[in-house]
Structure 1
């Protein structure tokens, strides 16, 4: 099997998981195939590569990342921690449960920083087309070097698609929106909430993007934040100045009319309306055509294309778990490619897909969906040598996170969780999230002196504690 050539498309968290999986096998003495990874950005990291650019990048390509400047993890890091490279190992000390984007990029980069994995990546290289040849059971991958504008083609035995599915925004239309005089943007193009200071902001959507960008806008001094939902409200107890309303029916200039008859005026609209599965480099018979859910159709064990099992997808699911799920998928795909894991017959694969599909269709709550994904990851890890970890405890962390947000959506990032990998309790960040305006790695890892407000709050808390005793 080692005379194979494997193409990995994308070097974000999923592509890095694939590189790490093969590297792990190689370090253990296994001869691995030739691997070529194509990444259209100048560095790896995928979504975690922040860029000020929106729309079109410096090469004239569509901007991949939806990352915004002041993003902090909106789920506990203990739920995404790598089982074979912990936060303790990387940082050498406990850090808080909700790090900012620079910290998480440093973590995923650090796992491969001392390896030769970058030698396998061709950066600033866009995959233009993948063609399968039935007669030879191989693929031709045509790519363009974006710096030299040179197009080349190479042959591969198997393909791993690791481009994610949060880069092609779903942009619905609304009656009259062309008359809206303010800013209209999709969450994919959102880069910072500072511009919303003293603005009336409308978030259309009831997902994590709407919740987080809405709270960011509140943090940065928006005059008001309204979240508009289509079918179900998020349902938090929002602070004064934030509210939820049902779907927008139409716009009339700066006024938005909602289906319940309410009318509000806005200065800015952010479409938090999700993303599309879109793979412009693949023919339609190799592409996922699915809504964003935890079990997209057409994939055996959520990774291998049923109609051509030499094509694999990583990270194609809607996600509760992220980095460690990508690892579980990557280790399993690696073992399929190396012949360590048997590939069942087409009928057996179809039966497995049907069993998981029926369970997926029976999901009736958020809690059941989280447990579904935990059980899915457990099934993958059981097929490989990836370190098994306490998935049920991670489910409990997710449930605690959900409850913390219900309790107070402005303070849940100040909570501390315990690593299921090391048992380490997360540190308390030196500054409450709502007052932390510097998202840099340097600031995060420092111990800054307390400002006057912090000293005043400490005195107030000390006085209150003295009264109760």
Structure 2
């Protein structure tokens, strides 16, 4: 057994016969959720191993976001545990600033993920009482299969692990460029072109705005109702205002107040083809995970006609799209702002904590802990603040057991040492 396994901590992991016994939890994912959990574990004195399929931390932010992206919420609601944003950062940090913050966060807490480790499957071995996590390593241009054996497994791959590619009739016949939002960087390459943006969430709105700013001609597909709120009301963050009201008022009343304030600031948006859902924005976020759009300028472009709002798609033709109302548009390119989904069901062999859609079955705030040492972080549908809360809970839960067992081991060693001394005399 000793020749097959070796106990390792966070900075002493190496391959030995393709099997590694980890002295502490394995964290799958080096995004903000995984980094936050690792930092909290570090504070608890618990060793860990972080596995990341890409070659950098926060790969979603580094590789699959557009250039003009900024945090939608004020920085105090987006910072990770134990380390705030630099004081000189603006209220809404840019993409580059947020990436720099995450990289400095990893350095500060000495988090050194094992990059290019793509998890293939993870299952709990009831016989041994350990999790078995199998990965394929793509480092040094060679593929190596590695199995990590651990007592605790933290799933930190997040809500946005894989992009959603919808099946739309005739799309493969379109002939023009088709791009998912994850591959979009700037509207510069679309200057002067007619672009169909499929999706009207925060990404769809921002991509449409960016296209306008680069003199493209976007048409945005709005297939269903959507809540659009101003990012700020009377100089105060709408999100911060909602948080303050939630401390004193019931959710349904906060929703009504938010919609009334949004009407005062934005006016009636339904006349522009943006129908509001019957359920309030906060209730819809809590029940279905649908985030309201925080407007940063797209609505003004919709009013002016620079962004053309169109209904759902019936099918594509070469260089054209037919809408459900029978209208046919000539278009040069298609941008799919159709969102992302969890990839947990593809690799985690478990049916108690996670449902088939890759999210915890239990509603917030109870979905962070499963059975047999399994944890979930970053699946609250409450952004970075929800992930931070989960990370602290997980670290405290594991840390409590770790400290108890470490204390017991020290007592055993001390007792053994005393017996040895007494035998010598």
Q: Which runs of 4+ in 1 moved over 6 A?
A: none
CA shift for structure 1 position 277: 2.1
Rg larger in structure: 2
Q: Does 1:301 align with 2:365?
A: yes
Q: Which residue of 1 aligns with 2:50?
A: 37
The runs of 5 or more residues in structure 2 that have no matched partner are 1-8, 10-21, 229-273, 275-298, 403-425
Residue of 296, 312, 330 corresponding to 2:391: 330
The runs of 5 or more residues in structure 1 that have no matched partner are 27-31, 51-65, 342-469
Alpha-carbon contact 1:12-1:44 (below 8 Å) kept:
yes
Q: Which residue of 2 aligns with 1:262?
A: 327
CA shift for structure 1 position 302: 4.5
Please give the alpha-carbon distance, in whole angstroms, between the structure 2 residues aligned to 1:71 and 1:196. Answer: 18
Alpha-carbon contact 1:277-1:290 (below 8 Å) kept:
no
Any residues of structure 2 matched to 1:265-414 within 5 Å, and which? 265-279=330-344, 280-283=346-349, 285=351, 288-289=354-355, 296-298=360-362, 301-304=365-368, 306=370, 308-319=371-382, 321-322=383-384, 324-339=385-400
Please give the alpha-carbon distance, in whole angstroms, between the structure 1 residues aligned to 2:24 and 2:79. Answer: 30
Alpha-carbon contact 1:206-1:232 (below 8 Å) kept:
no
After superposition, the Cα gap between the structure-2 partners of 1:207 and 1:116, relative to the gap in structure 1 and judged at 3 Å, is same
Q: Which residue of 1 aligns with 2:27?
A: 8
Relative to the length of structure 1, the TM-score reads: 0.60
Structure 1 residues 223-266: Cα deviation after superposition (integer angstroms, max 9, x where no partner): x1111122115543424310212211122222222223333211
Please give the alpha-carbon distance, in whole angstroms, between the structure 2 residues aligned to 1:13 and 1:310. Answer: 21
Q: Aligned with 2:25: secondary structure? A: strand
Q: Which residue of 2 aligns with 1:360?
A: none
Q: Which residue of 1 aligns with 2:6?
A: none
Q: Which residue of 1 aligns with 2:220?
A: 227
Q: Which residue of 1 aligns with 2:73?
A: 75
Q: How many residues matched?
A: 307
Q: Which residue of 2 aligns with 1:48?
A: 61
Any residues of structure 2 matched to 1:161-176 within 5 Å, and which? 161-176=155-170
Please give the alpha-carbon distance, in whole angstroms, between the structure 2 residues aligned to 1:101 and 1:217. Answer: 18
After superposition, the Cα gap between the structure-2 partners of 1:83 and 1:304, relative to the gap in structure 1 and judged at 3 Å, is closer
Structure 1 residues 245-290: Cα deviation after superposition (integer angstroms, max 9, x where no partner): 2211122222222223333211111111122222232125367346
Higher relative contact order (CA 8 A, sep 6+): 2
Q: Which residue of 1 aligns with 2:123?
A: 131
- What's the C-alpha RMSD, in Å, of the aligned pairs? 2.7
Relative to the length of structure 2, the TM-score reads: 0.66
Q: Aligned with 2:56: secondary structure? A: coil
Please give the alpha-carbon distance, in whole angstroms, between the structure 1 residues aligned to 2:356 and 2:380. Answer: 10
CA shift for structure 1 position 191: 3.0
CA shift for structure 1 position 14: 0.6
